Structure 1
Amino acid sequence: MLAVGAGAVAWSVVGRQDTSAAMGEVRASSAPSATASAPPAEDRLHAQVDAVLKVRASAVLAGKLPQFLATVDPRNKKLRQQQQVLFGNLRKIGLRKLTYEREPKWAPEPQPQHGPSAHAFRVQMMVQIAGIDPAPRAVQLGYTFVERGGRLLLVDDDDLNGSYGRGTYLEPWDLGAIEAIRKPGVLVVVPAGERANGERLAREARAAAPGVRAATRRAQAAILVIAMADRRSMDPEWQSGGHPAAAVAAYNLAPIAEDPRDMKVVGSRVVIHPDQRKKAGRLLLAHEFTHAAMAPLGFSAPTWLVEGLAMYAEMQLAEQRGYDVSEPRDELLDEAIPQLDVLPIDGVFHGEYDEDSYGVSWILVEFLMDKYGQKKVNALYADLAQAPEDPTLREQLLRKHLKLSETAFVAAVKKYDGPS
């Protein structure tokens, strides 16, 4: 049942650096290079790039492959094949909105390996999946264009991948041909040829969603589930206890209008580790859907509460499905909880309690639900999620909502013997 809520962002962000990091408003860590007023030749190049980007977006939305490929170097057969697959994938996913926007504060970067006129541009892809995303999210790209015969042509789409904080994972539409399975409230993306697994995951996702709503009284109206075979679909930094996470709730980010480097959370998607894609079921999905549901509240809630609530939703669903959770509960109450001196600490969540950190956090949240009720737990979560990560302030919020200090809270949990 090991799973983790991860802040998967396109740019490096300021915020908690563990696997529950980076929700809310975030800023790209890279600073733009200084730009003076552009010379006429550069202005003309910018205008050409903007026009090509507009053509590419409109071609995808209209389903016009020849128009899309007309912007791609006809001499580069490999790139054209990749771009044709990309076009097909985006059409299969089904988009409501798509734009490609050149980053205006970055000067073109020469790429002489493609010819003397070749320049790379930083491009922000704003993509909104129909019926899934509440708003467009940002995907950072690097496109290299060359002027040939009076036309501007795309000659490469990864020259900038290693030069700025794009992230070390790829979008599913960039990983070869896909299958897209759409059901009410969920879209599952899997590799071509794995439709049966996609259908299975869609059923499991739909079975998980009601349990998340019951446990949290919150849920995304719809969600994207990615289960690709290619390991590049997962960021190596998405880990749990030093091991690759089985799945992550990756936050969708969009720029704030005033500054495209400022980002805010506009939703989430769930990415399943390639090794787990054919094993993952409703319990793992319920865990990640809980992270996705709570993400809009903020990113400062303590890890024990973030993971504990996800574990609570997972265990509630397990019990509803006929699993006996009394044995793991009793084991935690007998062995791990008596050792509890303080609440699990964010930066060393796996420290003193090792893998029992998730189980201990489950018991903490189950105790709160049993004694105080869901409404009060949600109110505590909301306040903690929006507050600075300050121990004194967290103590004040515990006292406000629970009428307990952390010490008294821990002492009360030690007397807990299970739900009433």
Structure 2
Amino acid sequence: MTALLARHSAAVLSHSAAAFLDDVDTAPAAAGFRQRQQAEIASLAQVPLQSWRYAVSAPVTDPSASAATAKRVGAPVLIVHVSLFYALTLVDPQPTSRDLWWTFVQRDGRVLVAGDDDMAELGGASWTGPWDYGPLVAARGTSSLVLGHPQDSGQLARLAALVDAAVPVVTGVWGTGWVRHVAVLVPASDNELTALAGQGSALTDVSAVTVFDAQDPASGTRYGQRLVLNPHALARLTATGLRIVVAHEITHIASAAGTGQASPRWLIEGLAEYVANLGSTQPVTVAAGELRTEVAAGRLPAALPTDAQFAPGSARLAQVYEESWLACRLIAARVGQSGLVRLYRLVGASPDVAIQALEAALHRVLHESTASFTMQWRGYLTGQLG
């Protein structure tokens, strides 16, 4: 089994379809799995991989699952939890890992892999990557890797250019302490979007989302960070809107290690909006149009946004993002971009609860309390939008 996984890994890295399929069961019971494996190796052809390795995590000990699978394939089987470790070239400084549940079968003295879904109904669903949803095409830039499907191939180079333009802007604010290469995934369907982003219906109101596979609890480093673009966004966003969305999400990727449990959502989203709007020719009254309508009518927010106000589907979601942006814009106006980043890092590194962490950071950077800053922010909203 170990030798089989090593051969399978080597076949992926060498783009050898014949070697990849040589260890896949050819029996009729495994026809669907073999077809998916054939499609996967073809889809991986354009994906720049730094590494790809399978490792055995543990065998499945549930006798009922093994018995049912053995009956299905007509031979002795062993279902194994397999870890896939892979890294995209330049994007992933270290490999990320994903879980697979593979069925191994013995036929004529050979061990073959015969399935990946025999544990799906028992909580062992194998991970699916973008290469499992049809042929992939890639566009690469100086700081970007964009993976999509043939129907969107005309858009991928444009997205790569947007990423290449945004990375220096984000780095100019946050600093160089991040990988500075970004992978963008462009799913072709809502099903693929849900699978890649893992958030289901929560994505209907957003144009893009940043996801990751795991986080180092000590350093805060996130593994497998990807910018997943809602396929409907390509059709509905203006050029300016798409640029802002891309820069916003890249800011999340850059600042991930500096984001902690104490970080309030308004600070996380506000920093991303602040960076994304740098250099924009849109007046504040246009960029924060929804909030301007409320402020002009005398409806000022009483407090900084709570995390609950960012819930998907919220009636005031646009206003909450605008409030967050202008809070960070005010901080930068007072203490500069470096001061804004310093405050962000102080909150993210704090072991305190969110309220105490923010209070302490505001005292250190702005020399005032949360209540005092909130009063200034409310006045700032009136001055900018009233």
TM-score, normalized by length of structure 1?
A: 0.77
| Maintained 8 Å contact 2:34/2:114 | no
Which runs of 5 or more residues in structure 1 are unaligned? 1-47, 257-262
Match of 2:18 in 1: 66
Native 8 Å contact 1:144 1:155 kept in 2: yes
Given candidates 308, 313, 320, the residue that maps to 2:270 is: 308
How far does residue 291 in structure 1 lie from its aligned partner after superposition? 0.6
Q: Look up the SS of the partner of 2:212 in the other structure.
A: strand
Aligned partner of residue 4 in structure 2, secondary structure: helix
* CA distance in structure 1 between the partners assigned to 2:77 and 2:59 by the alignment: 19
User: Identity rate of aligned residues, in percent?
Assistant: 26
Contact 2:95-2:224 at 8 Å conserved across structures: no
- Structure 1 position 381 matched with structure 2 position 353: no
Q: Does 1:403 align with 2:367?
A: yes
What is the letter of the counterpart of residue 256 of structure 2? A
Q: Does the 8 Å contact 1:138/1:255 carry over to 2? A: no
Alpha-carbon spacing, 1:107–1:99, altered in 2? closer, same or farther (3 Å): farther
Residue 254 of structure 1: how far off its partner (Å): 6.8
Of residues 188-197 and 322-331 in structure 1, the stretch that sits farther from structure 2 once superposed is: 322-331
Deviation of the 1:418 alpha carbon? 4.3
Q: Give the structure 2 partner of residue 370 of structure 1.
A: 333
Contact 1:224 1:270 (8 Å CA) reproduced: yes
The letter for the 2-side match of 1:197 is Q
Structure 2 counterparts to residues 123-142 of structure 1, below 5 A: 123-142=82-101
Work out the CA distance in 1 between the residues paired with 2:33 and 2:59: 27
Structure 1's 120 and 276: CA in aligned 2 closer, same or farther, altered over 3 A? Answer: farther
Q: Secondary structure at the match of 2:147?
A: strand
Render the CA deviation track for 1:232-282: whole Å, top value 9, x for unaligned. Answer: 3323763797844321111243789xxxxxx96235210011222455522
Corresponding residue number in structure 2 for 1:57: 9
Partner in structure 2 of residue 208 of structure 1: 166
Does residue 106 of structure 2 align to residue 144 of structure 1?
no
Q: Distance in 1 between matches of 2:267 and 2:201?
A: 16
Cα distance change, pair 239–207 in 1 and its aligned pair in 2 (3 A): farther
Aligned to 2:356: 392
The structure-2 alpha-carbon separation of the partners of 1:79 and 1:239, relative to structure 1 and needing over 3 Å to count, comes to closer
Q: What SS is found at the alignment partner of 2:85?
A: strand
Q: Which structure exhibits the higher relative contact order, with contacts defined as CA atoms closer than 8 Å and separated by 6 or more residues?
A: 1
> What is the aligned counterpart of 1:115 among 34, 58, 74?
74
Residues 172 and 369 (structure 1 numbering): CA distance in 2 closer, same or farther, change over 3 Å?
A: same
Deviation at residue 120 of structure 1 after TM alignment: 2.0
Instruction: Decide whether the 8 Å contact of 1:119 with 1:144 is kept in 2.
Output: yes
**Distance in 1 between the 2:208 and 2:315 partners?**
24
* 1: CA distance, partners of 2:354 / 2:273: 24
CA spacing shift, 1:406–1:162, aligned 2, 3 Å: farther
Shift of 1:89: 2.3
What is the total number of aligned residue pairs between the two structures? Answer: 362
* Alpha-carbon separation, structure 2, partners of 1:187 and 1:107: 40
Structure 1, residues 84-129: CA drift from partner, whole Å, max 9, x if none?
A: 2211222310211111111137547512333351232111111111
Q: Please, which moves more after superposition, 366-375 or 158-167? A: 158-167
Q: 1:187, 1:101 → 2: CA distance?
A: 26
Larger % of helix: which?
A: 2
Residue range with higher mean Cα deviation, 356-365 or 69-78? 69-78
More deviation, 195-204/127-136 = 195-204
- Against the structure 1 CA distance between its residues 237 and 127, is the aligned structure 2 distance closer, same or farther, given a 3 Å change threshold? closer
Helix, strand or coil at the partner of 2:91: coil
Q: 1:279 to 1:209 in 2, by over 3 A?
A: farther
Q: Distance in 1 between matches of 2:324 and 2:227?
A: 22
Give the TM-score normalised by structure 2: 0.84
8 Å contact kept, 2:52–2:84: yes
